[in-house]
Amino acid sequence: MIKNLKERAIGVSGSASGLASIAGSWQICHNICLGLIAVLGAVGITVAGMPLLFLTKIAVPLWTAALALLLATIAVYAKKRCISNKLIIFNSGLIIAGMPFAYMQRFSPFFWAAGGLVAFTGAALFIKDKLQGRKHAHG
C-alpha cells in the first residue's frame, strides 16, 4: 500500500513537472488563454483582455520548478527504477519546449522543435509499449 502511494506521488510529481514546464512557456500560456476565452465565449461569457496574463510574470519560476521536479524524478528513477522512463522522456521534451527565458526567445522555434520531438518520442514509445502489451494479452 505504501509502495503504491509512493509510486503515485512520484508519478504525480513527474506530471506536475511537465505541466509546469508547459505553463511556463509564454506562447503556450497565450494559447491556453485564447482557448479559455473561446470556451467562455461559447457559453455566453464575454472576457476582455487576457485572463491568464498573470502567468507570464511567473513563467521563469514555474519552469524552474518544473526542471527541479524533473531532476528529482530522474534521481528517483536512477535509484529505484520505479518510474516510467517514457514519462521522463515526455516531460523532458515539454521542459525543453517551454524554455521561458527572454534572451533565448530568438531560439524558440528550435526549442519547440527539439522539445516537441523529444516529447513525441516519449509518447510514441509509451503507445508502442501499450499496443505490444495488448497484442500479447490477446495473442
pTM: 0.61
* Whole-angstrom distance, CA of residue 6 vs CA of residue 8: 5
d(CA 8, CA 65): 19
**CA distance linking residue 73 with residue 14, whole number of Å:** 6
Determine the average pLDDT of the residues in 103-109. 79
Helix (H) or strand (E) holding 132: helix 108-138
Average pLDDT for 38-60: 72
Distance from chain centroid for Cα 92: 8
Query: What pLDDT score does 125 carry?
Result: 93
Enter the C-alpha cell of residue 71: 531532476
